[in-house]
Chains A and B, each alone.
Chain A
Amino acid sequence: MTPSVSSVGTEQGEYAHLVPLQRRYAELDPNDPERPGLREQLINGYLPVAEHIARRFAGRGEPLDDLMQVATVGLINAVDRFEPGRGSDFFSFAVPTITGEVRRYFRDHGWSTRVPRRLKDLHIAIRSALAELSQQLGRAPRPSEIADRLGLPVAEVIEGLQAGEAYRSSSLDEMLGSGEGKATLGEFIGGLDGELALIDDREALRPLLAQLPPRERTIIALRFFRQLTQTQIAEQVGISQMHVSRVLRQTLAYLHEQMAGSD
């Protein structure tokens, strides 16, 4: 159920056994009693593809479970609508169908403020360019670099980035329960103690840090004690840079507030 990130799409071999089922499913009369069983086999068989796509959209403010459901709906549509006779293989039909379903979901559900559809689409384009460019450059891209990649004027990219600020920001409560990251606390806890000793208000800070959910504490420590950039943290923790930014802002605000209260 948990395919490695690179396995889907590149190694279609693991789905080879589904191809004849697919052909058979398409050939059968819509009322054939064999169809429901085949359909279920196909949907279950291709489920890792939906999961893979859902994961690619994770860390953007929507719970993974919801994304999985939406991606699965996309997969079901793809299984039902695919026509093997058309010459293309299932993947080149299913991947855009599932991705489209998830994108539509983001467009319709992911925004706390009403933002024109044009800006939402732009924002999604910026996010994917941002991820690609960060990988290639080894740092966060500049607006001009995103504009080049998307073939858009820089001013429009800046507008899209600002629209992103209206994207639903998860509340602290929501953060408390949310997923676990790849970075482990043990990796830097010793370093953290040493660094904390250099700070006068460590006595106030230490219990606050200890209370934070592991992922929030990890992100704060990586940023302010290990001095990694947001892009590096995103990579290490396995969430998007924009999500790192949100977590940092909310957690910092929380820490400042608590520290001010303890004076």
Chain B
Amino acid sequence: MTYVDKDYSASNGGAGTDDGAPQEDSALRLELRTAASTVVIATIRTVAADLAARADFDLDSIDDLRMAVDDLCAMLVRIAPADATLRCRFTAHAEQIVVAADVEVEDGTEPPPTRSFGWRVLECLADEVSAEALPRELGQRGRICITVTKNAVTAQQP
């Protein structure tokens, strides 16, 4: 597993970054790349929950994000061939975390159906969910990506 991270502190302007690439405001970025296997899901969801806790999400939202990441990784691992790579990119803004996870897939693999129970669960756990097939790069397999957005405070239904 490899990861890339950036300073947590929100206040220092976010000017200098290691690679010199322009980075948006003070968002924390973290990327995990691993074999698409169920055994790593526990680690990934723990990272998600830890990011949310340190971003001061309310406890419901921390737990929702943990479950959402667990579910979306499970969905992706299910459609991935045995030797595929799973990639999770976390972007933690002040009041919002975006998780974009993707796997390599065989030609013709469809994104998960949005009318499934699993998708319904994701929609309830996250504030926004989307799935897309990423454009294929030359000599690479196609990838399917699920993106979830979670806000720091879970709005209460009346």
Contact = CB atoms under 8 A, between A and B. Distances in A.
A233 to B, nearest CB: 10
A200 interface: yes
A139 interface: yes
Contact of B59 (A161, A228, A248): A161
Contacts of B116: 199-201
Contacts of A227: 124, 157
Contacts of A161: 53, 59, 62
Nearest to B57: A142
Interface stretch (B29-37, B96-104, B148-156): B148-156
Contacts of A229: 60, 154, 156-157
Contact of B53 (A138, A143, A224, A226): A143
Contacts of B115: 198-200
B10 to A, nearest CB: 13
A142 B60 CA distance: 9
Nearest to A137: B58
A259 B60 CA distance: 26
Q: Which of B56, B58, B59 has the most CB of A within 10 A?
A: B59
Nearest to A232: B156
Contacts of B154: 139-140, 229
A218 to B, nearest CB: 15
Interface string A136-175: 0011111110000000001000100110000000000000
Interface string A181-206: 00000000000000000111110010
A200 B116 CA distance: 5
Interface string A72-96: 0000000000000000000000000
B131 interface: no
A230 to B, nearest CB: 5
Interface string A225-258: 0111111100000000100010011001001100
B88 interface: no
Contact of A141 (B50, B58, B64, B118): B58
Interface string A42-63: 0000000000000000000000
Nearest to B118: A256
Nearest to B152: A142
A249 B157 contact: no
Nearest to A157: B53
Given A161-B62, A226-B157, A230-B60, 20 more contacts: A140-B61, A141-B58, A141-B59, A142-B56, A158-B50, A200-B116, A201-B116, A202-B117, A205-B117, A229-B60, A229-B156, A230-B59, A230-B63, A230-B64, A231-B60, A248-B67, A249-B70, A256-B71, A259-B117, A260-B78
6 contacts: A139-B154, A144-B56, A158-B53, A228-B157, A248-B67, A256-B74
Q: Which 3 A-B pairs have the closest CB atoms?
A: A140-B60, A140-B59, A200-B115
